Amino acid sequence: MKRFFELIFALLFIGGLSGCISPSPVVVTDTVGPVPISRLPSAKGTLIVYTEFESSFGDPENPRRAEYRVSSLDDKVIAIVPGPSAYSDPDSVELEPGLYKVTTRVSRLGRVVVPVKVDARRRTVVYLDGSGNVATSDQGRPVVTLPTGMIVGDRATP
């Protein structure tokens, strides 16, 4: 009987720990690159990320976009961008030209990591709210998609 209770305790303990472990993120393998027709005056590039809407706990009448994190390829956090109000466009982030990772949550998938390429004087746009299907699908350019088929943005060129 003692072994039975030890076994039950061990299973409950392991089960409790598994609730604390987050599942592995969905990592997109293709890199999102700059929009072809974007020329900016700055020597830096601009990143704009459309994240999904979340209901605000304090104000359910005013949903916000989810925040996202921009990091280097070696996981050094460059910026944590809070989600703006649902009634305003996402903030743009100026970055040095290079390769980065965008991490945020997407419904039905959990945490998603999208590699992005930022070029000087160009705008890179990532759509993690479903609007990429409308914004890029009929442009005839190669696109990056999530495993669900949702278009995330234009595929980067080498």
pTM: 0.78
Per-residue pLDDT of the chain (158 residues; tens, 9 = 90+): 555 445 555 555 554 444 445 578 889 999 999 987 767 777 899 999 999 887 655 566 777 788 999 999 999 999 999 877 767 778 889 999 999 999 999 888 899 999 999 999 999 999 998 887 766 655 677 899 999 989 999 999 87
Query: Which spans in the chain are helix H?
Result: 2-18, 132-136
The two three-digit tokens of residue 153, written as one number: 């943005």
CA distance 123 to 125: 6
Site of tokens 């910026």: 79
d(CA 111, CA 124): 21
